[in-house]
Amino acid sequence: MKNKKGIVFWIEGFSGSGKTTISKNIQKDISKLFGATIILSGDILRKFFDKNGYSKKDRIKNSYKFSEILKYLTEQKLNVIYSAVCLNNSARNIYKKNIKNFFQIYIKSDIKKIIKLRRKNTYKNKKNILGVHIKPEYPTKSHIIIENNFDKPINKLSRELIVKIKKKLKYKI
């Protein structure tokens, strides 16, 4: 990690896996540990830029612009907890290439269980749903993998994540 830049805490996983809640839960701790931190998501940036396409091609195209925004923020020494469904190697590599302090967290969940538990309306009568219509491309080199089987409270998963982040980055900041 480069000391003179912010860190992007990239949280990736299926819609309904707990990314947004975990992001909110860890923000205060990340701010205490690493400095000023904001939360952004792929959905927020889509709204800002009126980008509504969800095909694999659309997701890759959006990654160029969105990664530039994250790069700019980290160059201002601002940390960003960024949650995105992604699960797309080409898109993920665009972010990794563009952002120097890229810390990758994968929330591993079973999409069938998410749908069964009705975690999100995302899966109702829509097209281009990752894991349903688009084959997911799972990350292979995440710094941290958190399994969310929905058998633990999300607060506990969030605390476990903070402990793992502290261990991974202890000697690198």
- Report whether pLDDT(98) > 90: yes
- Report whether pLDDT(173) > 60: no
Mean pLDDT, range 21-48, rounded to an integer: 94
Predicted structure pTM score: 0.90
**Residue 137 neighbours by CB under 8 Å, 6+ apart:** 87, 88, 89, 92
pLDDT in tens, 103-121: 999 999 999 898 888 766 6
What's the whole-number average pLDDT of the chain?
89
User: What is the set of domains in the chain, with CATH numbers?
Assistant: 8-169 (3.40.50.300)
Q: CB-side exposure of 3: number of CA atoms within 13 Å?
A: 4
* Burial of residue 3, with CB atoms counted within 10 A of its CB: 0-12 exposed, 13-18 middle, 19 or more buried: exposed
Contact in structure between 20 and 41 (CB atoms under 8 Å): yes
What pLDDT is attached to residue 120?
66
Higher pLDDT, 84 or 173: 84
What pLDDT is attached to residue 72?
97
